[in-house]
Structure 1
Amino acid sequence: MRENIPVIRLRNKSGDLVVRDGVILCFFMRRSHKEVAPAVWRALRTYLRAIPPQSLNWYGSDDGDWLPLDDKGWEVIRKQILERPWGAMWHVDLAEDPGEAGGYFFNYQGRQLEDPLFSRDEGATTAVSFTFPTEYLLEHGPAHLRALALELAGELPFSFGYASLAFVSHQGSWFSALELFDVLERYPGFDLPRLGDTSELIGTRARGAYWLTFLGQPLLGQLGCSEGVRQALSFPEVSLQPLEGERLLVSLGEWPEAIDTTKEHHLPQYLALANLLEPFLYEPRANSFCPDRDNLRRWIRHLTRSREL
């Protein structure tokens, strides 16, 4: 419910805003950059039409600087996605603000899976994410955001994707946020996006259970196809929408859930999807710091306790 979505503003020791509340749409594709580049460009154009003008104002250059996303900058981005023929990896970062955490980000991690760097790595994927401030969700409503997620998904040959409330920040800058782990513990329904790390490992597996969960192949087949998912998620709050290419959108409710652990919740559909996906979650590297997986485990434990009350 909209009234249960918290306002989160986290700052670093210097007082800079480095994490805020928002919504993320993220898709993982076990495809090479050259196969998906036109689709990613179309999805980016769809995202731009949906958000207010000048919501993206800066882009990350190859040397690490943030440069103005003016007409010249957009031509750089277009060429980087569509025309650059060389390299094993493609990174595109677009942001509302070059310093503090704004609500709008676009992040693309493209990989040439045929390259020797990745050819033996079954976990490497190409991935893309789109973020919004929570105010966008509240203004336009969840049906609008769900329709936009479907439009973006229709462009992309995903194996897994999701939409969720999220801690929105520049890539990796959440490390410097004061009180991050306190709010992460309190709101396990908030995603902590780590697109670069996750896209190196996820392959065709799942990342977790989310408000909107997009299931592609071969994952959907491993779950028993649409009918198997339907039987496991026979709750009135859940809707299933078959998509082209034997894919499926699972919606766990009208609104995304923050899941405030200081309050009681009855969300059996989240627990059921988390348990269904558990055998197919991607595995982080040994001894790696992986708060998103830890967050999922806390989520499942909390939901299990809530069910037993």
Structure 2
Amino acid sequence: MNALPRIRVHARNGAVVLQEGICLSFYMHRSHQEVGPSVLLALDVYLEAVGRDVLRWYPDMDGDWQELTAEAWTGQRTALREGNAPRLQLTDRPDGVADHEFNYRGQDLGALSEEDAARTVCALSCWLPTAFLERQGPARVQGLALELATILPFDSGHAGLAFHALSQLSGVRERLEQERILYPGMDVPDEDASQYLGTRVRGIHWMNFLGPSVLGELGGAEALRARLTHPDTAVQPLGEDRAVVTLGDAPDAGDTSQGNVLPAYRELTRVLEPWLTSREAARPYRENEALRRWERRFLD
């Protein structure tokens, strides 16, 4: 396993506002009422992996952090069981970015316009520290991602290295833009943009989960495998209509300063380009040229 980058940016109060981590994300083009039981199971699988006592905080309706007491846990689980479009953010600390975090944004597609419903997804993501990868090995992270994939009726998903950042803070966005150019294998998660994926794919990562729509258009797992020649690439069917493409035995950040531009990632990007989505539509009010260049880092 290649050495992982160590990134720590601190606020004046000492809180970490930017660091590296492992992010596992799944997107389901369905209403929460259909996927709620699966999300509950996924939460339990995550807690079993990281420890039942790790997640200790959540934001209340006003955005203020509250402790996850037994009563609060009951409320979170009830929201997943009975809510129409619940939102969860469960974390291990109330200040700065977390080492461990579980996020979920549920949607009620029936309450949306036909146009919005066609592109809106329920989105689940969870975080692990890179220390988890180093202690337990990439096979354990891969196993956790695959276990979540068997539970969730995903249309797309991914797992790999990512920047965990409070990008709204002054100076953090600028530092993030510098680091993401250096490490092309690290994702920059964007929960707001990701909720409009529909059945498409958001970028290329270490593990790339493909749902029925995209995999069907590709001709299935065997047809996809035939188009990928890099020796580090593995295509694994997940049932009849889903698959995961894994790029190497362990996640690789790459390093443009050393000429490591991740050829396996570039090959998969070229194959999946027709199904990749851009975040630009969710950010029409920003200067997007730098974003466009970064999203095309494996193509240009």
CA distance in 2, matches of 1:74, 1:31: 25
Q: How does 1:174-189 map to 2 (within 5 A)?
A: 176-177=171-172, 179-189=175-185
- Given the alignment of the two structures, is residue 156 of structure 1 paired with residue 169 of structure 2, yes or no? no
Q: Structure 1-normalised TM-score?
A: 0.89
CA distance in 1, matches of 2:143, 2:230: 21
CA distance in 2, matches of 1:194, 1:107: 12
Identical-pair percentage: 37
- Given the alignment of the two structures, is residue 287 of structure 1 paired with residue 284 of structure 2, yes or no? yes
Structure 1 pair 292/226, CA: closer, same or farther in 2 (3 Å)?
farther
SS at match of 2:110: coil
- Given the alignment of the two structures, is residue 2 of structure 1 paired with residue 9 of structure 2, yes or no? no
Aligned residues: 294
Counterpart of 1:164, as a letter, is: G
Deviation of the 1:128 alpha carbon: 0.2
Match among 98, 103, 123 for residue 102 of structure 1: 98
Deviation of the 1:296 alpha carbon: 2.8
Deviation of the 1:118 alpha carbon: 4.4
Paired position in structure 2 for 1:219: 214
Q: Structure 2-normalised TM-score?
A: 0.91
Structure 1 pair 261/227, CA: closer, same or farther in 2 (3 Å)?
same
Match among 257, 260, 263 for residue 265 of structure 1: 260
Paired position in structure 1 for 2:74: 75
Contact 1:32 1:110 in 2 (8 A): yes
Paired position in structure 2 for 1:304: none
Paired position in structure 2 for 1:26: 25
Contact 1:112 1:118 in 2 (8 A): no
Deviation of the 1:13 alpha carbon: 5.5
Counterpart of 1:63, as a letter, is: D
Paired position in structure 1 for 2:59: 60
Counterpart of 2:253, as a letter, is: A
Range that drifts further, 238-247 or 133-142? 238-247
Range that drifts further, 130-139 or 292-301? 292-301
Structure 1 pair 40/102, CA: closer, same or farther in 2 (3 Å)?
same
Contact 1:10 1:180 in 2 (8 A): no
- Given the alignment of the two structures, is residue 198 of structure 1 paired with residue 197 of structure 2, yes or no? no
Any stretches of 5+ residues in structure 2 without a counterpart? none
Deviation of the 1:73 alpha carbon: 1.3
Deviation of the 1:223 alpha carbon: 1.9
SS at match of 1:114: helix
Deviation of the 1:225 alpha carbon: 1.5
Structure 1 pair 175/126, CA: closer, same or farther in 2 (3 Å)?
farther
Any stretches of 5+ residues in structure 1 without a counterpart? 302-309
Paired position in structure 1 for 2:228: 233
Deviation of the 1:54 alpha carbon: 2.4
Q: Alpha-carbon deviations, 1:202-259, whole Å to 9, x = none?
A: 1000101111000011011122211221112122211111102410011110111111
Match among 129, 135, 144 for residue 140 of structure 2: 144
SS at match of 1:241: strand
Structure 1 pair 210/226, CA: closer, same or farther in 2 (3 Å)?
same
